[in-house]
A = this chain, B = another copy of it.
Amino acid sequence: MAGSRSGPNMTQIAKVVGVSSATVSNALSGKGRVSPKLVEKIRATAAELGYVPSNAGRALRTGRSNVLGLVLPDISNPLFPQIAQAMEVAASNAGYGVLIADSRGDVTTQTQAIARLIERGVDGLVVIPRRGTRIGSVACPVAMVDTPSTPGNTVSADHWEGGQQVIRHLKELGHHNFLFVGHDPASNVQNDRIGGMKSVLAPGDKHQTIWIESLLAGTPDQTSLGLLDHVKNGVTAIAAVSDLHALRVLTELQTAGIKVPEQVSVTGFDDLVFSPVVTPALTTVHMNMTRIAEIAIAALIKDIEAPRASPDDPDTSNYKTGSTDQNTVKADTSKVSMQLVVRGSCAPAVPSATPSPNGETL
């Protein structure tokens, strides 16, 4: 009853062709010594019978499942689809499957999620860590996607440089008084982005940063960010750390009767699904997730398939060494540059950027 799979197995093929199952295995894998014409014959009958190798059998023998685990931060992140898709495609191309696990909220869940994946026998993990989280040592190679400045990071977008692109663009339009909008001051990604933005500011430029989480601590979602005051005080450009927040900014301004981009320019990050279809379409910075996924998966698989080092020869391992206790893998390229996507939410700064005494001109 149990284990009665539908398709044929190697023994069946062997019987049909009239050889041993070992020869079938060798022929299909191309490993041992099998005459070319036998290989041909075996391949043909395997295809004819609709042979599908048993993952369980192979995994048991080789100790490898050909499955990777993908650990994602809290699901509310609208970037999730892009990440998951890119990872799945990259893994699939390399012959691996992707098991998902999400660590909604707390670090505990993240740890549990990782444990579950390990127990399922994944060969490696891709972890997009929850903001500011570190992952403990685990029993398999790990590719970490966070920010270039995070210790243990395998590969990620160059958020810093992305921030620079945004501000450079706004400065070319004549802006000098910025408001940066972040969500969580503990997020590595958000800090990198804001850091990059600040890094290209000139001495005379004004800027201020607000963190949504701190601002609205404990209150329900729908609360004003108080943008009107900032605009009255002379801010002409608002740069958010994500399109989600840029959207919040955009609609709050529009409701207050402030015209975007005529009076205030707005920018976001990540090029989320809704960004091109809102009015005005959001100017944002696009992340090349496909490439990041390819690099992460490649580094992971390289480590997985590398011949395991003997204890006295640690050089063959791809694990990072040094101060970090994490066994995250390294990639040749650790950051992927971002692309500025100019759309309709930015315009030249209004000449009279000086705030009027009473704000009536707004």
Contact = CB atoms under 8 A, between A and B. Distances in A.
A203 to B, nearest CB: 35
Interface in A1-24: 1-6
A92 to B, nearest CB: 7
Interface residues of A, number: 67
Contacts of A55: 59, 65, 119-121
A181 to B, nearest CB: 12
Contact of A81 (B76, B97, B276, B343): B76
B75 A3 contact: no
A184 interface: no
A75 B85 contact: yes
Nearest to A308: B1
A277 B61 contact: no
B120 A102 contact: no
Interface stretch (A245-253, A311-319, A354-362): A245-253
A279 B255 contact: yes
Nearest to A343: B222
A80 B76 contact: no
Contacts of A255: 254, 279-280
A54 B65 CA distance: 11
A100 B88 contact: yes
Given A55-B120, A254-B254, A60 B3 contact: yes
Nearest to A116: B92
A220 to B, nearest CB: 8
Interface of A: 1-6, 52-57, 59-63, 65, 67, 70, 75-78, 80-82, 84-85, 88, 92, 97-102, 104, 116-121, 139, 221-222, 224, 244, 247-248, 250-252, 254-255, 273-274, 276-281, 308, 343-344
27 contacts: A2-B61, A3-B63, A53-B119, A55-B59, A55-B121, A56-B60, A67-B99, A75-B81, A75-B84, A75-B85, A84-B102, A97-B117, A98-B99, A221-B277, A221-B281, A222-B281, A222-B343, A222-B344, A244-B277, A247-B278, A248-B278, A251-B254, A251-B280, A254-B254, A255-B279, A255-B280, A274-B274
